[in-house]
Structure 1
Amino acid sequence: SRSVITSLSEANDLVEAIGSDIVGIALDSYHVWWDAALPQQITRAGERLFSVQLADWVTPIHGELSSRGMPGEGCIDMTGFVADCRNAGGYSGLVEVEILSDRWWAADPKDAVNAAANGLAAV
């Protein structure tokens, strides 16, 4: 509801049109996981993948931006997503766990960090 770029294909188009080595893509699993063309678009993004972020899709959604789950809590194939970024896209940077979640914000910080670390380790 707040973005004019609604797919990785559109992001690729924009980055290619700009044509600068310092402009790239922060790819967040939460926003693209359902795209049938995702593997091909990750390959297309290639070296323009500057950041890979993980957040799982957990239902029911309670808040548009605050219902994300730790990796492994929802339905996204996190292992496949990261593998596509690494293998097809050639991404070699850090993978970030980015959880915007009322549930996890209310949790003990140690529990949240442990859940993020465990989820990332499983990927």
Structure 2
Amino acid sequence: MKNKPFMYTDIFYPDSASWDVESAPDYHVPNILVKEDTLFQAYTIYCAAAIIPHDANLKIRFVGQNYYTPTEPYCQGWQYYAQSYAYTLYAQRWNELMSAEIYLWDPGSATIEYFENDMDTPAFTKIITWN
């Protein structure tokens, strides 16, 4: 009998992941989306990584400044939409890793809002700071 791939049933935020899933899958950096983590280091690369099940949707909104926003090729599996002092990531893959590079530069703070499964209000919100 052939092994079936693991099927995620909940949205999963890994502790770390590559911000370049296709070219450097084994190069891991901390995941800024881990809900418990709120304090980070300035001048450091992080990732915004998640895996969602087939029946889920995920939108992540960052509001703030002093961070580098993801661009191709370092935004894989997400659709990226930029606004003034904010940007939004929309999930484009199901049951596989999505990751985007996030570079925090000059010390600052931002709010991250997690919109899960087409909710109009965030399922979770956190404020992050970096020094």
Question: Which structure shows the higher helix fraction?
Answer: 1
Question: Which structure shows the higher strand fraction?
Answer: 2
Report the TM-score range of the alignment, normalised by the length of the smaller protein.
under 0.3
Q: TM-score, normalised by structure 1?
A: 0.26
Structure number with greater CO (CA < 8 Å, separation at least 6) is 2
